[in-house]
């Protein structure tokens, strides 16, 4: 027992020493981290939890009960509070050290004020009129502010400008008798981590850096170092590209696909399966169309990590390190004729104790019933890792909007989801049933065939500061709630970094990618 106690003391000593050596977390360090892809591959030090607070319906308490899918998501709050003669609803109240990494506000709350209190303030240091986060009194650069499609009528927007706090942060809204919607993704660091609390004056000092960060996000660069290629014509066949041995990393992955019959394009892009093996363990397996963010039909994608032209040219900029060996494989499981070009750019990589491998997996489920209490499992991941993003691609057989369902993300030992959202559209940085394609640096809707949301729909979300670390397990699901009872065909692709033995336990087999895509009968001009 004495030896064990001594060992614990030593571990705590070094852990404290590591924290002491950490630089203070500021707006500036967070802006730098947002575009530092090399941080993607590392389990976080100092460690932090990543959670979400929203205005979800508080009747949702017990899974698998009728109230679990309660859908008055513009009503939830933590408590009422009296502040300086005002009655306010508390939307967010967390102890630091921490940082808010993403905020969504929307809901026709004109006349109401959003207030932000830092470090136990008696009066809010920031008051935002009209419940509109885009009116935060700082200069928010283009890439870090997403005005939603219905902004002109509902003031919906997503803000990714980081808001750090040393001791605490509380956000309230004036007491309202009408709907409002609120999301705040946030990190909480280990006690002792140094964080400098946000101020408007401090933000002004980082205006230039914020603009530079925005420019980098809007103009992502593909790595142009050592280049390796493979080409082959595939019909019920496979090809592979072995990369240089030793400690290396894929910095950019490009695939070019040529076909004979354009009418076969969508089905063929779904029938090409990409698999990547690092150090003898396969960690990536997904249809080409979905892996690169387009989903069913492989439309255009334009974001920080993913770019495709909708015509067979695809680029991925996730960094993928390995210690000894790496192989990229493409398998054509169909009878379609495909000309496949693989290009990978690599660089030497210094492996650290907290370096992780890139993972991506895919699953498909068809004829799922809406409005009967079902939750669609996007993925269940086991092992240690950092959740990095996802693609939801689907065919909606119902007459109208299918995405009322909230996301639930359970991390490690959660008894209740530490991420409980307000609707599928909010998760993907939109509000009130988006009806057109939209693209931003963090993803968007790469496919929306119909203004009534019938037919094909694809959403993408990749994460920067709002990544989710997990030590043992992460489960991600969406409630299946639509405006009209009916059926949906759902598929999902997830990206994460993890140890070599981390895995997705709900992935679909390759043969499920032979799912015959329904005919696209809906278009936005009908």
Q: Per residue of the chain (526 residues), give pLDDT as tens.
A: 444 444 433 333 334 334 434 689 999 999 999 999 999 999 999 899 999 999 999 999 999 898 999 999 989 999 999 999 999 999 999 998 999 999 999 987 777 899 999 999 999 999 998 889 999 999 999 999 999 998 998 889 999 999 999 999 999 999 876 678 999 999 999 999 999 999 999 999 999 999 999 999 999 998 988 999 999 999 999 999 999 999 999 999 999 999 867 789 999 999 999 999 999 999 999 999 999 999 999 999 999 999 999 999 999 999 999 999 999 999 999 999 999 999 999 999 999 999 999 999 999 999 999 999 999 999 999 999 999 999 999 999 999 999 999 999 999 999 999 999 999 999 999 988 888 999 999 999 999 999 999 999 999 999 999 999 999 999 999 999 999 999 999 999 999 999 999 999 999 999 999 999 998 877 654 3
pLDDT for 22: 65
Residue 319: both structure tokens together: 């960094």
Distances (CA, A) of 208 to 36, 184, 211, 322, 415: 17, 25, 5, 35, 43
pLDDT for 161: 98
pLDDT for 17: 37
pLDDT for 19: 40
Q: How far apart are CA 156 and CA 429, in angstroms?
A: 9
Q: Decide if 305 contacts 318 (C-beta within 8 A).
A: yes
Which value, to the nearest 10 degrees, does the dihedral of the CA atoms of residues 440, 443, 447, 450 take? -70
Q: Decide if 357 contacts 461 (C-beta within 8 A).
A: no
Identify which of 109, 157, 150, 153 has the alpha carbon closest to the alpha carbon of residue 135.
157
What is the DSSP secondary-structure string of 326-362? EEEEEEE-SS--EEEEEEEEEEE----TTB-EEEEEE
What phi and psi, each to the nearest 5 degrees, are found at residue 222? -90, 140
pTM to 2 decimals? 0.93
Longest Cα–Cα distance of the chain, Å, equals: 76
Q: How far apart are CA 172 and CA 127, in angstroms?
A: 10
């Amino acid at each position: 027992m004495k030896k064990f106690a001594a060992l614990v003391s030593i571990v705590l000593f070094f852990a404290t020493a590591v924290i002491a050596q950490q630089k203070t977390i500021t707006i500036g360090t967070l802006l730098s981290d947002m575009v530092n892809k090399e941080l993607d591959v590392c389990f976080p030090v100092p460690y932090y939890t990543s959670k979400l607070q929203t205005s979800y319906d508080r009747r949702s308490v017990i899974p698998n009960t009728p109230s679990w899918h309660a859908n008055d998501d513009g009503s939830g709050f933590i408590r009422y509070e009296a502040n300086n003669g005002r009655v306010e609803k508390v939307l967010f109240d967390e102890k630091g050290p921490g940082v808010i990494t993403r905020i969504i506000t929307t809901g026709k709350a004109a006349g109401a004020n959003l207030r932000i209190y830092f470090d136990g303030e008696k009066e809010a240091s920031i008051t935002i009129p009209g419940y509109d986060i885009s009116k935060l009194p700082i200069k928010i650069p283009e890439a870090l502010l997403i005005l939603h499609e219905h902004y002109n009528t509902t003031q919906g927007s997503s803000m990714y400008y980081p808001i750090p706090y040393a001791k605490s942060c509380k956000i309230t809204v004036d007491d309202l008798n009408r709907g409002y919607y609120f999301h705040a993704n946030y990190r909480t660091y280990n006690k002792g981590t140094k964080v400098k609390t946000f101020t408007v004056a401090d933000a002004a000092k980082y205006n230039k850096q914020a603009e530079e960060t925005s420019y980098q996000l809007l103009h992502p660069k593909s790595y142009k170092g050592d280049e390796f290629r493979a080409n082959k014509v595939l019909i019920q066949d496979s090809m592979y590209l072995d990369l240089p041995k030793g400690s290396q990393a894929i910095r950019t992955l490009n695939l070019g696909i040529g076909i004979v019959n354009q009418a076969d394009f969508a089905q063929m892009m779904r029938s090409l399966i990409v698999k990547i093996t690092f150090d003898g363990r396969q960690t990536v397996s997904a249809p080409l169309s979905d892996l690169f963010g387009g989903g069913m039909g492989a439309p255009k994608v334009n974001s920080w990590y993913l770019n495709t032209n909708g015509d067979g040219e695809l680029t991925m900029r996730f960094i993928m390190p390995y210690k000894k060996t790496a192989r990229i494989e493409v398998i054509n499981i169909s009878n379609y004729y495909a000309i496949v070009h693989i290009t990978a750019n690599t660089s030497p990589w210094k492996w650290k104790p907290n370096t992780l491998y890139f993972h991506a997996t895919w699953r498909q489920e068809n004829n799922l019933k809406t409005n009967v209490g079902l939750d669609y499992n996007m993925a269940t991941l086991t092992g240690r890792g950092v959740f990095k993003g996802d693609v939801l691609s689907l065919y909606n057989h119902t007459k109208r909007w299918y995405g009322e369902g909230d996301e639930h993300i359970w991390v490690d030992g959660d008894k209740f989801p530490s991420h409980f959202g307000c609707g599928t559209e909010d998760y993907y940085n939109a509000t009130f049933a988006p009806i057109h394609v939209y693209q931003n640096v963090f993803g968007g809707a790469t496919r929306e065939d119909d203004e009534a949301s019938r037919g094909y729909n694809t959403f993408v979300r990749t994460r920067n500061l709002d990544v989710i670390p997990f030590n043992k397990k992460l489960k991600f699901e969406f409630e299946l709630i639509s405006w009209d009872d009916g059926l949906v065909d759902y598929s999902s692709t997830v990206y994460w970094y993890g140890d070599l033995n981390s895995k997705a336990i709900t992935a679909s087999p390759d043969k499920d990618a032979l799912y015959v895509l329904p005919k696209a009968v809906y278009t936005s001009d009908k």
